[in-house]
A and B are shown apart, each in its own frame.
Chain A
């Protein structure tokens, strides 16, 4: 019986956030601090002929100006083979917003004014903004190394797709497109850096992996990792958009190194939109083959993603939509060609619902096949959903997956079968399913470790590399620690994401935190417990195996009166020269030989979650607006460490993936310039827009996850997107092939359909 795990205890950090006490990076100030501003390219593609900083340097109050001349020239890319980005452009800029120079000054106004005084002579170069244009003959080449501007090609082929079509009874081809989505975390990017005369660099910034930042920054600054201390700070959202390295931290650190003063750089909302990361736009062509009974037999997908000007997480981004598909539905013959293409647009990264055109294409294919084969949408999904014990085409074993349970949960709660094809005109209902991995191979940064130490009064210190972007990771490890130790949460002090102290951790990335970092914390606590029992065995004159720890007391199993408070155990240990320090280290069982491009096979992740959603809508046939009546979401997250927090992730997923992703959100462009960089023009859902959400947590305890936990929420973000799209299709009688389904597109589709019906009649 768990005492702390599985309970919806309020999160500790939220007390600070409710009172304004929580400090985000832009809230921090150090004595003698300078303020930075960055000069960015206003052009999508240009050669830099001359960068003259003299007038900026002469402005009173300016303390330093840097350009590529001051930079190490080390290039960034997540993989050795994708290092293509310098943090300050040397001779060429490839997107609007690319960093050219930066200033540190006494005030932010002076820094901004100085930036305007830097004279740059550009030679404009032809630019390309669409991935299909970029791979066409004669397109301008963006990087010398990339022929046809292809940045990444992920080829996967399992079985024999070409031979498989003959065995299919229903074969259908679909083309879908999606525009870029954007993160719009409420906190704009910011960095505070201080290089001192010992040669150490302290840095604060919103991030999803302090240890990745420390390593990247150490490389770029040509310092040992031990000299770069990424510090803990409150973080205002990430959603995939804080994951890799950005020029901001390098530039700020360099300015601090040059001035020997702390420097703070705070991005504007526009900078956060164009100069951090954006989602990929995609063009997806799919061919699906089914057998008469609804069995999915063959799949061939080609996807072109607009990667923007640099690689970032390229190989991963190119693969993940495929992986989410192959974990969700069983298929014997499958081929995938994923291309990530360079364009002269801002750099793209992974975003919560990465690949809506991909994921929705899959569920559209399933609905169309069901229709053709006389099945209903639920049946065809139950028939093809992967289950516990199955393998994916690229050879991952699935240790736990309550796919059928989640599908049934939402189908029953929504009364899907009663409503399917029986709703009033312009009403529709749709379902979507997806499975998400809890972590994937990340080499030396794929594991996590934790430590637990004790104060003489029985207080507990937990030290873990986890980082909390708002999703509650700190709360998760605290609850796990409390459970594993048998100590109330309030007695545990957490030190997290401070690279000087915390051991390497993979970060809040790939949905691995709960499983990987959580397990490290569990193991550290179990280790500490074992040591405490050894000490307490002497005090209680009992054998260590017979001891138990609960409510901060060690006692003999079955006779709780024979107890000694934790504080006393700790002190007895100290008297004997034994300071109890628990240590736990965890590496997930993934195939380290698996590689995104060269070798995409083997165990991808230790665990796989599952999500299913049903959505009911009413479409206004005159305006194309979609009124979402209800959303039912069901999630196999393994054990829910904190059910209310899991629900919070599910709600957020419905908003971002479903409502925003399908109805509202898209970046708009004018010759490579992003037209909607702010909260007014980029439409993220508002409180009155959101429908009622009915959540169902299905706990298929995972054998590996801590107390059975996997990931929370991401699968809901994706499957709700699919369900939204299918519900709209049901309401208007046809699928819309472009995402998002904004009212103008919905209305155009309705009118086009009415037009063809008129012709037919």
Chain B
């Protein structure tokens, strides 16, 4: 079979527009990591089961490993690298909360975890514990047992709501 022709892709990632020439079989994860050098999204499995590749597409968490890059043209993609830039401080409040509440061990699940938490808090600024656990139900963490990840999301929610100061 002859190799299918490359296609021109117009992608918006972390607020920046990119014009790329790629094979149509490229997943969003491959394009982020290999074309744009954004290695914050990881390939823990490549088949949808772990969540380490999760990024936000138009504000919703999605598996970059199962998404064809061609399919997200016109959408806005946010990766972990783009989260902090939007604000003055060096860390986004959710990132800061994960650091402060010890929600990170090996860190391989962290980018997907934080972005999924962001989508949750954007939709529901004061989720209860069950809602947090449900929102994170597709994000596997092998290290933490999730306890301090849940703490981190709760801390982030309180700080974003102005109920608690960031030291």
Direct contact between A and B in the complex (CB less than 8 angstroms)? yes
Using a CB–CB cutoff of 8 Å, the interface residues on chain A facing chain B are 8, 10-11, 13-24, 26-27, 183-188, 234-237, 239, 266, 268-269, 469-472, 644-645, 647-648, 651-656, 659, 678-680, 684-688, 690, 693
B148 CB within 8 Å of chain A: yes
Q: Is A693 a contact of B147 with CB atoms below 8 Å?
A: yes
With contacts A11-B102, A26-B43 taken as known, whether A651 is within 8 angstroms of B145 at the C-beta atoms is yes
Q: Is B104 a contact of A269 with CB atoms below 8 Å?
A: no
Please measure, in the bound complex, the distance between the C-alpha atom of A648 and the C-alpha atom of B105, giving whole angstroms: 8
Q: How far is the CB of A177 from chain B (nearest CB, A)?
A: 25
Quick one: which of A19, A266, A651 contacts B95, CB cutoff 8 A? Answer: A19
Residues of A within 8 A of B142 (CB): 183-186, 237, 239, 652, 655-656, 684
Q: Is B44 a contact of A679 with CB atoms below 8 Å?
A: yes
Please measure, in the bound complex, the distance between the C-alpha atom of A14 and the C-alpha atom of B50, giving whole angstroms: 20
CB-contacts of B26-78 with A (<8 A): 33, 38-50, 52
Quick one: which of A19, A470, A659, A690 contacts B143, CB cutoff 8 A? Answer: A470
Quick one: which of B43, B111, B140 contacts A20, CB cutoff 8 A? Answer: B111
Q: How far is the CB of A663 from chain B (nearest CB, A)?
A: 13
Quick one: which of B91, B95, B107, B141 contacts A22, CB cutoff 8 A? Answer: B107
Please measure, in the bound complex, the distance between the C-alpha atom of A647 and the C-alpha atom of B99, giving whole angstroms: 15
Q: How far is the CB of A269 from chain B (nearest CB, A)?
A: 4
* A/B interface sample: 14 pairs, CB < 8 A: A11-B102, A11-B104, A14-B107, A17-B106, A18-B98, A18-B104, A20-B79, A234-B106, A235-B106, A648-B143, A680-B49, A685-B146, A687-B150, A690-B147
**Top 3 A-B pairs, shortest CB-CB distance:** A20-B40, A470-B106, A17-B107
B80 CB within 8 Å of chain A: yes
Which residue in chain A gives the minimum CB-CB distance to B80? A20
Q: Is B148 a contact of A18 with CB atoms below 8 Å?
A: no
Interface centre among B133, B134, B143 (most CB of A within 10 A): B143
Q: Is B105 a contact of A693 with CB atoms below 8 Å?
A: no
Residues of A within 8 A of B146 (CB): 651, 655, 685-687, 690
With contacts A269-B44, A648-B102 taken as known, whether A23 is within 8 angstroms of B39 at the C-beta atoms is yes
Q: Is B110 a contact of A18 with CB atoms below 8 Å?
A: yes
Residues of B within 8 A of A693 (CB): 145, 147
Please measure, in the bound complex, the distance between the C-alpha atom of A19 and the C-alpha atom of B102, giving whole angstroms: 15
Residues of A within 8 A of B114 (CB): 18
Q: Is A679 a contact of B40 with CB atoms below 8 Å?
A: no
Q: Is B107 a contact of A679 with CB atoms below 8 Å?
A: no
Q: Is A19 a contact of B136 with CB atoms below 8 Å?
A: no
Q: How far is the CB of A497 from chain B (nearest CB, A)?
A: 14
Q: Is B148 a contact of A680 with CB atoms below 8 Å?
A: no
Residues of B within 8 A of A678 (CB): 45, 47, 49
Residues of B within 8 A of A269 (CB): 44-47, 49-50
Please measure, in the bound complex, the distance between the C-alpha atom of A647 and the C-alpha atom of B149, giving whole angstroms: 12
With contacts A26-B43, A680-B49 taken as known, whether A186 is within 8 angstroms of B106 at the C-beta atoms is yes
CB-contacts of B70-121 with A (<8 A): 79-81, 83-84, 91, 95-96, 98-100, 102, 104-111, 114
Q: Is A17 a contact of B145 with CB atoms below 8 Å?
A: no
With contacts A11-B102, A14-B98 taken as known, whether A687 is within 8 angstroms of B40 at the C-beta atoms is no
B144 CB within 8 Å of chain A: yes
Q: Is A24 a contact of B42 with CB atoms below 8 Å?
A: yes
Residues of A within 8 A of B109 (CB): 186
Q: How far is the CB of B78 from chain A (nearest CB, A)?
A: 11
Residues of A within 8 A of B108 (CB): 24, 185-187, 236-237, 470
Which residue in chain A gives the minimum CB-CB distance to B44? A186
B124 CB within 8 Å of chain A: no
Q: Is B44 a contact of A690 with CB atoms below 8 Å?
A: no
Q: Is B102 a contact of A688 with CB atoms below 8 Å?
A: no
Which residue in chain A gives the minimum CB-CB distance to B110? A17
Q: How far is the CB of B162 from chain A (nearest CB, A)?
A: 21
Residues of B within 8 A of A27 (CB): 33, 39, 42
Please measure, in the bound complex, the distance between the C-alpha atom of A472 and the C-alpha atom of B132, giving whole angstroms: 25
Please measure, in the bound complex, the distance between the C-alpha atom of A20 and the C-alpha atom of B40, giving whole angstroms: 4
With contacts A17-B110, A680-B48, A680-B49 taken as known, whether A651 is within 8 angstroms of B147 at the C-beta atoms is yes
Q: Is B99 a contact of A15 with CB atoms below 8 Å?
A: yes
Q: Is A652 a contact of B98 with CB atoms below 8 Å?
A: no
Q: How far is the CB of A704 from chain B (nearest CB, A)?
A: 26
Q: How far is the CB of B165 from chain A (nearest CB, A)?
A: 16
Please measure, in the bound complex, the distance between the C-alpha atom of A715 and the C-alpha atom of B102, giving whole angstroms: 20
Interface centre among A11, A17, A188 (most CB of B within 10 A): A17
Which residue in chain B gives the minimum CB-CB distance to A268? B46
B130 CB within 8 Å of chain A: yes
With contacts A18-B95, A236-B107, A472-B105 taken as known, whether A648 is within 8 angstroms of B148 at the C-beta atoms is yes
Residues of A within 8 A of B145 (CB): 651-656, 659, 685, 690, 693
Please measure, in the bound complex, the distance between the C-alpha atom of A680 and the C-alpha atom of B104, giving whole angstroms: 23
Interface centre among A186, A648, A678, A685 (most CB of B within 10 A): A186
With contacts A653-B145, A693-B147 taken as known, whether A645 is within 8 angstroms of B102 at the C-beta atoms is yes
